[in-house]
Chains A and B, each alone.
Chain A
Amino acid sequence: MPLWTWFGLKAGRVATSWPNSGPDGQDGVLGLPRLDPARCESSCQNCVTSCPTSALSSNALTGVGLDYGRCIACQLCVEACPAGALQSTCDWAFATRDREDLVRGATQALAKRGTESRADRSLRKSLHIRHIDAGSCNGCESELSALDSPFYNLHRLGIFFTPSPRFADLLLVTGPVTSPMRDPLLAAYAAMPEPRLVMATGTCAVSGAPVDGDYAGGHGLGGLVPVDIWLPGCPPNPAALIHALLVLLDRMPARVHGGRYGT
């Protein structure tokens, strides 16, 4: 009969200390593409036609527009662009407080919006999350359960999942919100104590893409419940999830403003 505790102790500490130090575990993982309008030959439109979710759009006045809230990181636009105006990057820490911060127009000035947090200071070191799957492909759930793995060890940051919305500070929603999930989602939100925080997790929950519209899709959380943090990605990787949670708690800065990824 194996001595599991002994094996566990012998394995030692495997958790990363990221974001303080240590690896984030995302070597080589591609994020959402970066758009350099200066290199764009705006007549071609190849990127717009290649985009399966209409994240890229053409606009006579501003050239190519990009809504990261609809981007599923498929990298097809990067392959379609003849001028190298779209580049694959490791930009995955895309959490923002405002939905508009995910939208970029080619000539838009850097928009620095209010970054006032709604998260109560008392939550900063202890946050309890209720997760709700409102129609995801299970990719987001797979990455959420990875947060529980010894490598990320979410507990080290004082953040926990809780079974009941009654104990939850944050409602973490994945999926586009299909029709049968609309009422259960609203009921769970209503059951939470104030102040209620909501995180739209993954591109589906942000905008519904790529499964928005038609007879069974949804359009994400916009207009359903007030959202405090938006995190596109298909799916967002565990480090991106941790970053989003820490942005929510004012423990890390957001990196995306006005659709531009900064450092």
Chain B
Amino acid sequence: MNDCEDRRLSAAALFTTAQTLLAEGCRFEMAYARFQQNDPEILYLVNRGRHLPFLLLRVSSAADLPSLAPIAPLLGWYEREMTELSGIGVAGHPEPYPLLIHEGFHLSAPPLAPGKDCPRWTGESLPPTMPEIEADQVQDLIWGPIRGDVLETGEFHFSYIGEAIIHYHARLAYKHRGLERRFQDMAPERGVYLAERVSGVGSVSHGLAYCQAVEAALGIEVPERARLLRVLLAELERLYNHFHYFALLAKTTTLKVGAAEGLLLEEEIKQINGRLTGSRFLRNVLAIGGLRRDLDVTGLSNALTKIGRDGINYLGRLSRTASYLDRLIGTGILSRDVASDQGATGPVARASGLDRDLRRDHPYAGYSQLRFEVPVRTLGDAQARAEVRAESLREALALIIQTAALIAPGPVLTTAAKSVSGEGLGWVETPRGSLYYAVHIEADRLTRVKIKSPSFSNWRVFPFTVHDSNMMDYAINEASFGLTIAGADR
């Protein structure tokens, strides 16, 4: 695979190899299984650090596969997903409970394993697996799957006494649409529309990571102009997502005018998106090999001048509002160790002292030509997460103006592919963190597409900041993480 050092090893050697890698300071990014005819291969993607190629561990037999979750907890969800969707079990998993296929639901065959037929999952929802708490006055609250307001579907279980939360469990996957399987057997150039619809507010990120993965697999060189235009699209997506984030944060801290202003700024960016590309979510522009059509970006910097000024004033006002800061400072503290072990990514990781950003560490699209700062904080509370988002919003504005000035006339699409088969890895630093697509292509057909979305990582981390916190802070803490559910559920 591109940008990866491949290392084949046996299931027996996996555990000690993982221990050595962790001791060297490497971090696992994701794990997944694929099949060649009927033979499984389990792949583990390891990040070795800035500017170093990734490491791809390949285990070619599922027999006696050990769980790595005891030493690399962030892999826990990937292993459970592998068991449920690919039918590959691991020995010694510390949390052997259902993840995607809920308690009470049933799949007659693992959908990602060989065999064409996989009937629709059926069943009736049962309560999730929760720890038993034996104490007086403990109350249980089940919130969801339908919650108040216009929110995504998810089910949240709280065990609490008074205001104090003892245990919190988020049951997602109500929105699991089986997207990874939908890519299979598709021609690679056809999959872009589907990638754009994995997570609506991450349309560009998902489309771009998918395109980059296919381009790497098939040896397609993207023209310079298209690479810079892709940066523009990605940063516009970051802008409207970050404004939405602050609108929600203001809303949860009951700052009504602040919430309205954030939503208005988000709307203004979406209207710019619509005029630029015909889609408020910047869909239907990306293509394998570049862009489907050229974009006229001459007026973009001017259009952003007023919004940029309003946005920076808005962030400044938020940062001077005592009632807002009171609710954020010290709320939902995520330590550096938990962030690292459990797999936090994006602004959540950077707020807890993990200095990681794929745009800088493993540049893609046009980012190697651009100068930008990566904000980092160490306190790991809601305020640190908001500060990281605020700074990266300012950086996004500056990046758009910088990129627009660099764009020169030229073609925006190449279709010349070096091959019709291959493996490719694509990645994007989305507004929420790292997104990876791994694609396997044989004879111009996708045989496996793995999606690692940033919210899949951060939802795993989030409950660690909720246990032992209080109910009053919950909504603010959740808003400070800026999670989506669609991307995590797929």
Contacts and interface: CB of A to CB of B under 8 A. Distances in A.
Interface of A: 1-2, 4-5, 7-8, 11, 14, 25-30, 52, 72-76, 79, 88, 131-146, 148-152, 161, 163-164, 175-176, 178-181, 183-184, 188, 210-211, 214-217, 234-235, 237
Contact of A211 (B119, B182, B199): B182
B118 interface: yes
B260 A133 contact: no
A75 to B, nearest CB: 5
Interface size of B as a range: 35 or more
Interface in B103-126: 105, 107, 111, 118-125
B150 A161 contact: yes
Nearest to A131: B150
B447 interface: no
B315 to A, nearest CB: 11
Contact of B274 (A29, A72, A179): A29
A132 B148 CA distance: 9
B147 to A, nearest CB: 8
Nearest to B120: A215
B446 to A, nearest CB: 14
B175 A175 contact: yes
Between B121, B174, B484, the greatest number of chain A beta carbons within 10 A of the residue's beta carbon is seen for: B174
Interface string B138-175: 00000001101111110000000000000000000111
B179 A211 contact: yes
A8 B317 CA distance: 12
Given A11-B261, A217-B120, 5 more contacts: A52-B193, A133-B146, A135-B174, A164-B148, A217-B178
Contacts of A11: 261
Given A75-B284, A131-B150, A146-B270, A28 B275 contact: yes
Given A75-B284, A139-B281, A1 B322 contact: yes
Contacts of A235: 200, 281
B394 interface: no
A214 to B, nearest CB: 5
B175 A4 contact: no
A75 B286 CA distance: 12
A30 B275 CA distance: 9
A209 to B, nearest CB: 10
A82 to B, nearest CB: 17
Nearest to B278: A30
Given A1-B322, A211-B177, A26 B260 contact: no
B86 to A, nearest CB: 13
A161 B271 CA distance: 23
Contact of A134 (B124, B153, B270, B275): B153
A215 B121 CA distance: 6
A28 B317 CA distance: 33
A184 B146 contact: yes
A201 B447 CA distance: 32
A72 B284 CA distance: 10
A14 B150 contact: no
Given A137-B486, A176-B177, A178-B176, A2 B278 contact: no
Interface string B169-203: 00001111111011000000010011001111101
A179 B152 contact: no
Contacts of A133: 146, 151-153, 175
A107 B374 CA distance: 59
Contacts of A88: 278
Nearest to A79: B292
A142 B190 contact: no
Nearest to B263: A149
A243 to B, nearest CB: 16
A1 B321 contact: yes
B278 A29 contact: yes
A32 to B, nearest CB: 12
A237 B102 contact: no
Interface in B316-343: 317, 320-322
Given A137-B198, A145-B263, A150-B260, A132 B146 contact: yes
Contacts of A141: 150-152, 200
Contact of A138 (B120, B200, B267, B279): B200
Contacts of B122: 179
Contacts of B487: 138
Nearest to B194: A210
Nearest to B251: A148
A135 B175 contact: yes
B175 A214 contact: no
B317 A214 contact: no
A201 B201 CA distance: 17
B257 interface: yes
B81 interface: no
Given A135-B174, A180-B174, A74 B193 contact: yes
